[in-house]
Structure 1
């Protein structure tokens, strides 16, 4: 049953997670990054808290609360704030996605230094997937808007999601999704609010596009996709889970074609196939060893 659940959870997670850059496109013009995130985190809390009280969800221990808060700062606040601020200050979305796309490789490097064994075929799959992501994003990559500031925030986002995933897997993988998520979002809300008051004007244009982006960001991504991510982290190793992130750019490209009539080129199609192949190899669904049969 667990294995069957994982079959549908992984593609559903990718499908929802990939909408992150879509809501950035809708919401970014109408609210500054930290202001948007503060409102989004507050909205998540307003949904989670009544659910926790109604169902009397169990609370984690004091030590686990600390670990959850740290993981939340990295996964929820650090990643989103870093990526959104970089884009807001001019970093091209394609280049942002490519840099964040380094997460599976970076995760593999970190966990191989700690304890988790990465096989040769998994390394091959990781680099194949990264090359596929590069092909998908090739036409969108340019250096306009690239400077020390945008690179800093982009790398901050990359390191945050990478370290946060490993940290949560190691120290607090088992927790009630409702209370654990609440702790993470309360911590993230505090940091986003402080940042918004210190560095932003906090002006918001309450237009339909922003409201739609907020609603989907709250319900679809922060509650839906994050819950799926936490379940996947709990059940699988960090490298396999992070490899799923390779599928985000191809999925986003398809969404851009559907929503914004953006072109889908042969290069995007080929890159998508390579990315999917790389993820399958990392998750050991297939292996390069099958090629030896034809030698």
Structure 2
């Protein structure tokens, strides 16, 4: 098995654990404050990793600025919006459906920004994946007692804006950062994330942190498993192929997170969630299949640059 074959599965497994980490971390730290700590430790570890492994830092200020800007969208605005919205009462089920919008957003915008078009079969796969996500999480959303836990419009809108941010960040990464050492790029991206998250944390939160073993464990996994492992794999997938294919993997995250919640927290794993997961897997498979028709010239050019 090569990394190219294993990377999608490893990415989904790692990224889906973010829901579990978020549930633990919320008891011990404000969401944005936790993200500031996560990004800061990620930068320090990435710098050390770059030094030990001899990473090549970009010499062009243009490349440096592109890396920082992409990090502002991919990490700062995306995770900041999602974590803040969940902290304001947006249920995980609704947030999961909103997350399912990201692959559709990417596929809709990619032809205009980076000249990347999908085949009819891949388009069907994207829609099928979203339907699977909706089937998996809608029953939980309907079951929410809105009287006990009112859902305000602003956090939902912020959650949607977070999906728009990661969509733009993914396309920006594909368009402007096809070259350069991924290790150095990732380090600069977390610097961009801090530029966004630090002022938001000071403006919106009390910077509450309760240091204990649970928080340290959640922070360690967030940095090593998510900020380093999962994001490095995502950047690798974006660089190797179509961004719409890489984005389609997000469809698998909410169902897997539901399975993990059932295992770790005893939450019910319903038949619609199981069936929806199967449908989402089928949609991701169709989206990631290699089309029989030749790729558009723009897509071939981008892949040539990536190689």
Both proteins in one fold, TM over 0.5: yes
1:82-101 to 2 correspondences below 5 Å: 82-101=81-100
Q: Quick one: distance in 2 between partners of 1:51 and 1:99?
A: 34
Deviation at 1:174, TM superposition (A): 2.6
1:205 matched residue in structure 2: 210
The Cα shift of 1:284 comes to 1.9
The 1:55/1:124 distance shift into structure 2, 3 A limit, reads: closer
Equivalent in the alignment of 1:274:
279
Count of matched residue positions in the alignment of Structure 1 and Structure 2: 285
Mark the runs of 5 or more structure 1 residues left unpaired by the alignment: 288-295
Cα deviation for residue 286 of structure 1 reads: 9.1
Q: Paired residue for 1:244?
A: 249
Partner residue of 2:187 out of 182, 188, 192: 182
Rounded to whole Å, the distance in 2 between the matches of 1:145 and 1:45 is 37
Match of 2:169 in 1: 164
Matches within 5 A, 1:218-237: 218-237=223-242
Whole-angstrom CA distance in 1 between matches of 2:213 and 2:251: 31
TM-score (norm 2): 0.89
Alignment match, 1:293: none
Contact persistence 1:93–1:140 (CA under 8 A): no
Find the residue that maps to 1:213 and give its secondary structure.
helix
Q: For the aligned residues, what is the CA RMSD?
A: 1.7
Alignment of 1:117-132 (within 5 A): 117-132=117-132
Tell me if structure 2 keeps the 8 A contact 1:73–1:184: yes
Distance 2:284 2:99 in 1: 16
Counterpart residue number, 1:49: 47
Residue of structure 2 equivalent to 1:74: 73
Q: 2:64 aligns to what? A: 65
Instruction: Find the counterpart in structure 2 of residue 17 from structure 1.
Output: 15
Deviations 1:122-167 (A, max 9, x none): 1111111101001111232146443232022101210111110011
> Unpaired runs of 5+ in structure 2?
293-307
Distance 1:135 1:192 in 2: 33
Offset from partner CA, 1:260-292 (integer Å, 9 cap, x none): 1222222111111100111111112699xxxxx
Mapped to 1, the partners of 2:135 and 2:200 lie a distance apart of 36
Is the 1:75–1:161 contact (alpha carbons within 8 Å) kept by the matching residues of 2? Answer: yes
Q: How far apart are the structure 1 equivalents of 2:212 and 2:291?
A: 47
5 Å matches for 1:149-160?
149-160=154-165
Runs of 4+ displaced beyond 4 Å: none
SS of the residue aligned with 1:30? coil
Cα distance in structure 2, aligned partners of 1:91 and 1:286: 38
Distance in 1 separating the partners of 2:232 and 2:10: 11
Shift of 1:70: 0.8
Q: Give the superposition deviation at 1:53.
A: 2.7
2:192 aligned with 1:193, yes or no? no
